[in-house]
Amino acid sequence: MGEAVPETIVPETIRRWHRIALEKRAEDLRGILAEDCVFESPVVHTPQQGRDICEKYLRGALSVLNTEHFRYGGEWYGATSAVLEFFSEVDGVKINGVDIISWNADGQITYFKVMVRPLKAINKLHEKMGAYLVSIGAVPASAMKG
């Protein structure tokens, strides 16, 4: 599990995503997201639809999760989709999750779902992502109460 994959079989969209995520290149997000992209968060019930809101959520995820502990583990690829397992630690809470990503013929991400475990990690992400999204005006502070 988590063995290195030869670079030649990693889909180009995932190579681009790796550069964005691992090199903390949030400024490149917009170019990889399809206009009709859908983002599903582990802490928000409603799928977030559209490039603008998906970019905000993914910027938040990069900001919150990309600590010195962040790394990808196992990765599984289809013709236009991938599942990437990741590990991180935020405020002493160990986080394990997966990114489920689909893309179109142009190599733009059309769907991005994040799933996280354990519950303590979900609660920490809710706290940190909520604070980030409020700070950039993506959601009202009242949406983060309770």
> Region 96-122: what's the mean pLDDT?
97
Q: Which domain holds residue 125?
A: 7-137
Query: 2 lies in a domain?
Result: no
Task: Enter the pTM of the model.
Answer: 0.88
**Residue 38 falls inside a structural domain:** yes
Amino acid occupying residue 115 = M
CATH of the domain at 48: 3.10.450.50
Q: Is the residue at 21 inside a domain?
A: yes
50 domain-assigned: yes
**Does residue 56 form part of some domain?**
yes
Identify whether 146 is part of a domain: no
Give 122-144 pLDDT, tens digit per residue. 999 999 988 988 888 777 777 66
